[in-house]
Each structure stands twice: as structure tokens, then as C-alpha cells.
Amino acid sequence: MSHQSELIETDIDAYLAQHEQKELLRLLTCGSVDDGKSTLIGRLLFDSKMIYEDQLQAVQNASIKHGTTGTDFDPALLTDGLKAEREQGITIDVAYRYFSTAKRKFIIADTPGHEQYTRNMATGASTCDLAIILIDARHGVVTQTKRHSFIASLLGIKHVVVAVNKMDLVEYSEDVFDEICRDYRDFAAKLDLPDVQFVPMSALLGDNVVNLSENMPWYQGASMMYILEHVHIASDRNLIDMRFPVQYVNRPNLDFRGFSGTLSSGIIRPGDKVMALPSRKKSKVKQIVTFEGDLEEAFAPQAVTVTLEDEIDVSRGDMLVHTKNVPHLDTTCEAMVVWMTEQPLAPGRQYLVKHTTKKTTGIVSEVRYRINVNTIHREDTDQLELNEIGRCVFEFSQPIAFDPYKSNRETGSFIIIDRLTNTTVGAAMIIDRNPEEIRGKHAAKRNLDVGMHESLVSTEERSVQLGQKPATIWLTGLTGSGKTAIAYALERRLFDEGKSSFVLDARNARLGLNVDLDYSAEDRSENLRRAAEVAKLFNEAGSILICAFLSPSEEDRNSVREIVGDSFYEVYLSAPTDVCEQRREQIEEATDHPEAGKAQQPFFNLNSEYEVPKDAEIELASHDLTISECVDQIIDRLQEDGIL
């Protein structure tokens, strides 16, 4: 059976010692229905000679009865072991297979492709280092391909191999392969997938699975097995943040009291200063005990027992951490949730939450949005349905010690359990947000039911006194299109004509009103929402507010229009990309521009993300017109509409 069968026969101890030192790679296969996930795993096992003769004979017998390939050997039956799976020719539950080569040990999770079993895919992916996403060459990138890719990204899988399968059914066409690669790259550019490789293959026939295929001489890459054996995963481990969730208090006699568990991340040594959470009591590590003897150090994911020099209270569910590297300890967090049951996630309903070794109760206090997996756009919702993915705010009855999921997959995730049925209904990945900020935003939204005081001065009275009607002039366009310069020139002109006006630009808003916001997509939207509320107040006071904001999203601008109302004028500055690029370089050299000085701002460097306004009240070719001419056109329109 094995590549080392001779060593097993002659020296079993040497074989076991050699096997123990191999690096372990956890991977999963995913993709749409009938893309060939189970067939690929069966082919990997068969071509690497990792099948016992009796297993092979059993599969050959089953192939006659249940096979879907028309041959006497259906590799998929090596993993599809359930009766229902063999009868239907599909994968229903996650199947795990273990094998090794001369270079590595492998644990493969074969996950189902049907949409109704998406939760099984998320379960299989939660512990994996690498994902093989299969695509049927005849069908290309489909919805389930995108959904599984998004979940892989969400679950922090850094390495993805896109296997374009069934190339034999498209005559091994290089053009078909290249087109699928382009489509997938376009979609994956929106995801956090740092390492993506592509392999054209036929899992059924073995092309490019273990050995390179003669049928595709145009492919210059490596076979699937070569990639699996050589992908670098050692640096993926978090060995910096020591997190030791206590699973069991080990007290075999009066002279020994240890705390048993599995290191989630980091390294621990005797003499280390540690803190127990949530009590924040401190001590030092005395011993690291295992069945084989004491250790000088332990690292993730080793299971050990730790003893401390001081008798401090530590219980199951507590966490030991280094005193100078402490996670968040709070009752509030924000997380991305994969919902796994037909009963929708309901805000306000109490659930059980299991985080590392700790169990507590909690509620979803708010569903911020859900993700459309086809477009990766956010959609407003107040609940999550089966297989939907969304961003939620959680409040727990007890504080938990957590890290952002991106830095620590173990302490940055938890599962949601139904209290009545005790079934897992959701998986959550914690977002890197300060709990105080989350509470502040949530409290602000809770106060929306507070009644508003009515002014004794009407808008009409203000208009008569000021000799103008209120309006919001919203300047939008690429950075460098001239928004700020035109805004202040317009303010000067209006002031000189005796009108009440004021400028609110992105820079000044960031320095005061929105100083607490970052440049994430959500905070960009909140930045504009607050500006719109300010504009509404200025308009109620009878003034003209001139806003200069990049505001690249059509959805966000429409939200601003809805808040402000009928007095809203969208002014699009249509200077082309090359002109704006040249101006932006000058801006960077001359000033600390609020949008040019942030390398992490995606819209500053990716102009393709800017959505051109479709129904702007005014469009100005700011690359051809002078600032004064732009102001003239805005003034003319305001006079035509009776604002001035």
C-alpha cells in the first residue's frame, strides 16, 4: 500500500519515528455540485498508492453498482461512504481521509457542494490550512464557487488551489482554462486570499493530479500533489500571542494542581509571567507537564498541563496569557456570522455561545448587514437566513477573552448554539474592532426612538430673513478632480453676495466630527451619514452647506440624498483619471491630504472602485473649466431653481 511499506515490514519503530516528524497539512476540497471533489481525493489516494488492496476491491465492486463514471473504478466512492451518498452520487456529510507521502502527512476534508450543506463546508474549513476549490471546466465560476471562496477567505485560509477539473470534457482547451482563471481572479480580488494557484486537471483520468499530463503540454505549472507537498504553511502559525484556554483542572492528589488544555497560539515556558482571565490574577509558570515528562517549552497546538507557582483561582473556561500580551476581555464584540440552520438568526433572542473552552449566553443585539456572495456587496437586513453570511453585534452575559480572527483563529471565533435543541446554528469570526467603539455606535442607534423638539421658527421664515432657500451642494469625484477648491471658491462667492453658506470637507470632518472613524468600508459609509445629518441641520437653519467628499459609492450617495431631502444637489466633477492622478501627485507633495495620506484607503489608489453618478443635478468638466467657471455654473443652477 504505502510508499514506505518496506520500512514498515523491516523496522516499524523507524517508520513511526520518521512519520512523527513529518509536517501535517490540513486541507479541504470544495466547490459546486458534481465538480469532482470526491473523485479528486480518490485519485490522490489511488495514484499515490495509499489504498489497501481490500479497499480497492471494495470500491471496484461498489463502482459496478453505484459508479457514475461508466468505468469499473469510481474514485469518488473512496470518500462517499454513506448509503445515501452512493445512491445519489453526491457528497452529503464531511468525510475525512488521512494519508501521507515521503514529505508530508495530510488530513483531507471532502465537503459537500450543495447549497443546503454549506454549513458542512464551513465546518470542514474551520481547521484547514489550504482549500482546493474545484471548478467544472464546462460551467466555469458559478455561485457556489463564489460562496465557498468567500467562506474560505472569511475563515482565514491563506492558501487556495483552484482546480479546473474535467478538462478532458473540453478537449484540454487552454483558452477555456485561461478564461476561467480570469473570471476567478476578478472575483477573488475582492477577497482576502493572499496565495491562489491554478491547476488544469482531470481527476477521473489523473491528469495533473499526481503526475503532469501529456494532454496539456501548454501547462507549465506543478501537479496538484507537488503543490500540496511543497506549499509553505509554517509561517501561518501564530507563535507570538500566547493563549492557553483551560479545559480541565487536574487534581489527582493533594500535592498536585495543574491546568490542562491545548495551546491555541504562542509559546509558553517555565518562569513565564502569566495572567489568568477574567480574574486578572498573576503568577509564574512552574512546570509544563506531559505524559512523556516535563517540557522546557510548549507551543501551539500542543496539549499540556501547566502548574503555577501561586495558588490562584483558575477554572475551566478561564484563559492563561502573558502579562504583557493580553487579548480583549469584554462582553461585546462584532463578528461575521455564517448561519447554519433554517430558523433565522433573530436579534434579541438568547443563544448559547461556546468560545474556546468557555460557555456563556449571549444575544445578537444588531445585524449590521449581510453579504451578497455574488457581488460581495452589503445588503441591509434585520436577520440572517440559512447559509447567509452577515456582520452582527454580540452581547454576552459574561466577559470573554478574544482576539481578532485574522490574528488568532482559535480565540477569534466562537460557535452559536440553540438553547432548546443544543444544535450548532452558527459560526462567528470576530472582527478587529474596539468594544468601546461598538458600544458607542450601538448606543447611538438605540437612541433613535428619542422624540425630536420642534423649533418655533419655520424654514419659510428663515428663508425670508436670509433671502435664500436652504440647499446642500454635494461635490463628488475622484481625488484631484477639484472638489475642495471649488467648494471654498463657491463659499467665498456666496458670502460676497450676502448669502449664508458653509463648507464641510473630508479633511475637516475627519479632524473633528468623524475623528473616531477609520477607512473601512463601513466607517466610510458612517462618515458620509454623519455629514448628511449635519447638512440636514444646516438646511433646517436656512443655510447652504457645501460638502466636498470623495463618496465613491452610489449607494452611499443615495443614502445621503434620502437623509437631506429635496434640497440636495449632487455635483459630479468628471475630470478623467490621468488628470486626477497628476493632480494627486502634486497634492501628496504639497499637503497632508486626508485621502492621499492613508495607504490603506482602497479608493485612493483604485479608481475603478468609484461609481460614476447616474443622475447628478450638475456635471462639471473640471479638467477643462476654471474654478471660477465651475462656480458660475453652480450659481446659475441655484438661481434657476430659486435657491438664490
Beta strands 298-299; 267-268: pairing state: antiparallel
Q: Which residues of 490-515 are buried (b: 16+ CB within 10 A; e: fewer)?
A: bbebbeeeebbbbbbbbeebbeeebe
Average pLDDT over residues 623-642: 91
Q: State how far the Cα of 369 lies from the Cα of 377, in Å rounded to an integer.
A: 10
| Alpha helices (H) along 447-482 | 459-466
For residue range 350-382, list pLDDT tens digits in order.
999 999 999 999 999 999 999 887 777 888 898
Contact 414, 428 (CB under 8 A): yes
pLDDT digits (tens, 9 = 90+) for 173-201: 999 999 999 999 998 888 888 899 999 99
Residue 116's pLDDT is 59
Lowest mean pLDDT, pick from 246-255, 359-368, 510-519: 510-519
Give the integer Cα–Cα distance in Å for 157 and 132.
11
pLDDT of residue 88: 43
One-letter amino acid identity for 370?
A: R
Question: Alpha-carbon distance 514 to 504, whole Å?
Answer: 12
Cα–Cα distances in Å, from 41 out to 21, 75, 88? 24, 8, 18
Q: In angstroms, rounded to a whole number, what is the distance separating the alpha carbons of residues 554 and 536?
A: 19
Which residue in 499, 503, 502, 525 sits closest to 514, CA to CA?
525
Residue 603 has pLDDT above 50, yes or no: no
538 vs 113: which has the higher pLDDT: 538
25 and 129 Cβ atoms separated by less than 8 Å: yes
pLDDT of res. 558: 87
Supply the pLDDT for residue 115.
Answer: 61
Kindly list the distances between the CA atom of residue 376 and the CA atoms of 104, 369, 403, 592, in Å, as whole numbers in the listed order: 35, 12, 25, 32
Average pLDDT rounded to a whole number, residues 288-308: 93
Q: Which of 49-53, 241-245, 623-627 has the lowest mean pLDDT?
A: 49-53
Q: What is the predicted pLDDT for the residue at 163?
A: 93
Domains of the chain: 5-236 (3.40.50.300), 243-322 (2.40.30.10), 328-436 (2.40.30.10), 460-640 (3.40.50.300)
Predicted confidence at residue 134, as pLDDT, reads: 92
pLDDT at 396 over 70: yes
- What's the CA gap between 236 and 216, in Å, rounded? 33
Predicted local confidence at residue 598, as pLDDT: 38
Nearest residue to 268 via CA among 233, 244, 238, 292: 244
For strand 104-110 and strand 424-430, is the pairing parallel, antiparallel, or unpaired? unpaired
Identity (one letter) of the amino acid at 260?
A: S
- Inter-residue contact 479 to 550 (CB < 8 Å): yes
Can you give the C-alpha Rg of the chain in angstroms? 30
Q: Which of 6-20, 141-155, 209-223, 413-427 has the lowest mean pLDDT?
A: 6-20
**Residue 475 grid coordinates:** 461635490
Q: Residue 603 is placed in which grid cell?
A: 479608493
What average pLDDT does the structure give for the chain? 82
pLDDT of 275 strictly over 90: yes
Q: Are residues 168 and 177 in contact, defined by beta-carbon separation less than 8 angstroms?
A: no
SS3 75: helix
pLDDT for position 494: 92
Q: Which residue has the cell 507549465?
A: 220
- How does residue 274 score in pLDDT terms, banded at 50, 70 and 90? very high
Q: Point out which residues pair with 353 in neighbouring strands.
A: 360, 416
Percent of the chain clearing pLDDT 70 (strictly above): 82
Distance CA 598, CA 506 (A): 13
- Sheet with 319-322, strands from edge to edge, namely 243-245, 319-322, 273-277, 281-289, 303-308, 256-262, 248-253
Sort 416 into a burial class: Cβ within 10 Å, 0-12 / 13-18 / 19+.
buried
Phi and psi (nearest 5°) for 188? Answer: -70, -15
On whether the pTM is more than 0.95, the answer is: no
pLDDT at 480: 84
Q: How far is CA 444 from CA 219, 348, 430, 600, in A?
A: 57, 17, 22, 27
**Helix, strand, or coil here: 28?**
strand
Contact in structure between 314 and 306 (CB atoms under 8 Å):
no
- DSSP for 376-441, written as a single string: TEEE--SSB-TT-EEEEEEEEEEEEEE--TTT-TTTTEEEEE-TTT--EEEEEEE-S--HHHHHHH
Instruction: Pick the more confident residue, 46 or 344.
Output: 344
Residue 397 predicted with pLDDT over 60? yes
Burial grade of 342 (CB within 10 A; 0-12, 13-18, 19 or more)? exposed
pLDDT digits (tens, 9 = 90+) for 255-270: 899 999 999 999 999 9
Q: What pLDDT sits at residue 548? A: 92
In Å, the largest CA–CA distance within the chain is 102
Which among 472, 481, 639 is positioned nearest to 573, based on CA atoms? 481
pLDDT digits (tens, 9 = 90+) for 4-50: 456 666 777 776 666 667 888 888 888 887 778 778 887 787 776 66
How far apart CA 605 and CA 581 sit, in angstroms, is 9
pLDDT per residue as tens digits for the range 58-114: 555 555 455 555 455 555 565 544 344 444 444 445 667 787 887 888 888 877 755
